[in-house]
Amino acid sequence: MNSIQNDTFLRTLKQQNTSYTPVWMMRQAGRYLPEYRNTRKNAGSFLELCKNNDFATEVTLQPLDRYPYLDASILFSDILTIPDAMGLGLYFVEGEGPKFERPLQDEKEIQKLDIPNVDEKLHYVFEAVRAIKKALNQRVPLIGFSGSPWTLATYMVEGKGGTNFLNIKKLVYSRPDLMSHILKINTETVTKYLASQIEAGVDAVMIFDSWGGALAHSEYERYSLNYMKVIISNLNLLGYEHIPKIIFTKGGGQWLEAQAKIGASAIGLDWQTDIAKARRIIGNNITLQGNLDPAILLSSPKAIVAAVKKVLDNYGYGEGHIFNLGHGITQFTPPENVQCMLETIRSYSQKFHIE
């Protein structure tokens, strides 16, 4: 098999020398791109965009074709494919986001929850991985991903996004046995899901713990981090030690020491975390990913250049930094501002590397 032409992202995950700081963006294929909006319109719905190989491949490659300074691609899919495969009935409401027809609302429904046949129910994801890998033709690595067990559980119990998490927190505090059942099922399913993505060809995997920061300080490790640790251990036991694994807890900057102990190759940082402090806490054995505030991309080129340089200055010299946003890029971002950010990263970051 031919080696990847631009492997800077993978080398950084392995703490190897590079000539510049690599970059990719969470939600880099998305509504801020006019070409994405056109494809989305042709697809007819967001789910059809995810479930159609041609559409998923097209939108995955769009940012790479527009921006030559991106160092990785990420599978175009959604974290909620797993609860959808479990029969909860995922659907999207324009302007309101994802919802479920059959959320987990009573003990009987929770007890019935079981691990789906991942290869059968989510075959379209793995087919998309194979199609994207072929279309990439080894240009850059492909990142696969899943939601964390806790984050998936929040949607499964709340029935939608954008809530105050009262239903799932009630379950945490009043019925930890039921909460543990959901999380164990999710953990086994995520393990199988990521393993199948790896088999289909992804070069790294990322676990998005979007709502881990909603947990109380004393509950984060028990209900979120420990299950991500199990997934990483499971994947290693299955023979995928060589595949880099990234975790990202939005709002999780206060738990960096604990995150550094679960075996991840990299830890994603949101924009509320001081990357210099994070590096001091974690050391140089684990790569850090982040952490520009996505909102800065709504401002002026001058402000963007200054903000990018500040992140790079704060991380400092040496390897182990993947530049990214502190969360997903907003749909209102002017595409030319992304170009400004990427050009600044490529030119300014070179002085921090010795290769």
Does residue 222 carry a catalytic annotation? no
Distances in Å between the Cα of 218 and the Cα atoms of 143, 180, 215, 228 are 31, 16, 8, 17
How many angstroms separate the CA atoms of 317 and 314, rounded?
A: 9
Query: What is the predicted pLDDT for the residue at 2?
Result: 61
**pLDDT in the model for residue 355:** 57
Q: What is the 3-state secondary structure (H, E, C) of 37-53?
A: HHHHHHHCCHHHHHHCH
Catalytic residue among 36, 67, 69, 155: 155
Q: Exactly one of 7, 32, 36, 40 is catalytic; which is it? A: 40
Catalytic status, residue 102:
no
Q: How deeply is 109 buried, as exposed, middle or buried, from its count of CB atoms within 10 A (0-12, 13-18, 19+)? A: middle
**In the prediction, which pLDDT does 350 show?**
98
The residue type of 35 is: E
- Name the residue with tokens 């001081």: 274
Tokens linked to 313: 């200055």
In which residue are the tokens 């994070």 written? Answer: 278
Q: What is the model's pLDDT at position 1?
A: 45
Residue among 183, 209, 192 at smallest CA distance from 122: 192
Give the residue extent of every domain in the chain.
Answer: 8-291+319-326
Domain 8-291+319-326: state its class.
alpha beta
pLDDT 10s per residue in the chain (355 long)?
469 999 999 999 999 999 999 999 999 999 999 999 999 999 988 889 999 999 999 999 999 999 999 999 999 999 999 999 999 999 887 777 889 999 999 999 999 999 999 999 999 999 999 999 999 999 999 999 999 999 999 999 999 887 899 999 999 999 999 999 999 999 999 999 999 999 999 999 999 999 999 999 999 999 999 999 999 999 999 999 999 999 999 999 999 999 999 999 999 999 999 999 999 999 999 999 999 999 999 999 999 999 999 999 999 999 999 999 999 999 999 999 999 999 999 999 999 998 5
Q: Out of 78, 222, 240, 348, pick the active-site residue.
A: 78
Q: Among 80, 42, 83, 35, which Cα is nearest to 60's?
A: 35
Of 37, 34, 13, nearest to 24 by C-alpha is 13
Backbone CA torsion sign across 64, 66, 71, 73: negative
Instruction: Examine the residue annotation and report whether 31 is marked as an active-site residue of this protein.
Output: yes
Type of residue found at 74 = I
Which tokens go with 16? Answer: 């190897």
Q: Any idea how long the chain is? A: 355
- CA distance to 155, 313, 316, per residue, from 348 (Å): 40, 10, 12
Distance, first Cα to last Cα, the chain: 26
Active-site entry in 31, 102, 130, 222 = 31
Give me the pLDDT at residue 218, please: 95
Can you read off the two tokens belonging to residue 301?
A: 């080129």
From residue 96, how far is each of 91, 152, 161 by CA, in Å? 11, 18, 8
Supply the pLDDT for residue 45.
86
Quick one: how far is CA 112 from the chain centroid?
A: 29
Question: Does 315 qualify as catalytic in the annotation?
Answer: no
Q: Which of 60, 239, 218, 55 is nearest to 136 (CA)?
A: 60
User: Which one of 27, 139, 279, 346 is the catalytic residue?
Assistant: 27
Q: Any catalytic annotation for residue 130?
A: no
For 282, the token pair is 């974690």
